[in-house]
């Protein structure tokens, strides 16, 4: 069996950063990243952010029937990413509520901001489809990272 490390992110100054490489499948015919793919990159980074914090989304769904769902998303495109670019996608907790949080994200190439994304996530009971209070353990981890 090959021993290969998965891509990992890291937290520095309360900001999580996750690496993303641009592949052909991410681009249009001109080699420019298709606009909707920035949302995919942001979703991957948020998932890895939770994993980094030792928040097991699958376990929460299976055992408690709860999880985060996106309530709203605001994205501002500033510049394009291209085939073979190495990007960083950041996650920063900006707001906390009883059942929700706002995660601010940036997509960067070197130090250039390509996109800014503000995502409001709601902690949801998937059985009732109703918001529910964020688990205390998760809330504590988020509060420690508030900007």
6 within a domain of the structure (yes/no): no
* 79: nearest Cα among 107, 110, 39, 114: 114
What tens digit of pLDDT does each residue of 75-109 get?
999 999 999 999 999 999 999 999 999 999 999 99
pLDDT at 5 over 80: no
Range of the domain at 62: 15-144
Cβ-in-10-Å burial (0-12, 13-18, 19+) of 136 comes to exposed
Instruction: Give dist(CA 36, CA 27) in Å, integer.
Output: 10
- Is 135 catalytic? The answer is no
Count of residues in the chain: 147
Mean pLDDT of 13-33: 96
Mean pLDDT of 45-59: 96
Domain count along the chain? 1
CATH of the domain at 113: 3.10.129.10
103 within a domain of the structure (yes/no): yes
Instruction: Give dist(CA 114, CA 112) in Å, integer.
Output: 6
8 within a domain of the structure (yes/no): no
Token pair 């394009």 is found at 80
Total-model pTM: 0.93
Given 28, 56, 86, 147, the catalytic residue: 28
44 within a domain of the structure (yes/no): yes
* 26: nearest Cα among 39, 17, 8: 39
30 within a domain of the structure (yes/no): yes
């Amino acid at each position: 069996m090959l021993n290969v490390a998965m891509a990992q992110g890291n937290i520095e100054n309360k900001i999580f950063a996750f690496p993303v490489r641009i592949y052909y499948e991410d681009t249009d015919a001109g080699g420019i990243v298709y606009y909707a793919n920035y949302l995919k990159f942001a979703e991957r980074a948020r998932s890895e952010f939770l994993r980094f914090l030792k928040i097991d989304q699958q376990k929460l769904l299976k055992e408690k029937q709860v999880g985060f769902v996106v309530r709203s998303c605001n994205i501002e495109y500033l510049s394009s990413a291209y085939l073979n670019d190495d990007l960083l996608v950041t996650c920063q907790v900006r707001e906390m509520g009883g059942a929700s949080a706002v995660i601010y994200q940036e997509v960067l190439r070197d130090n250039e901001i390509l996109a800014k994304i503000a995502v409001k996530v709601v902690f949801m009971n998937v059985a009732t489809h109703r918001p529910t209070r964020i688990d205390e353990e998760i809330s504590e981890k988020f509060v420690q990272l508030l900007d």
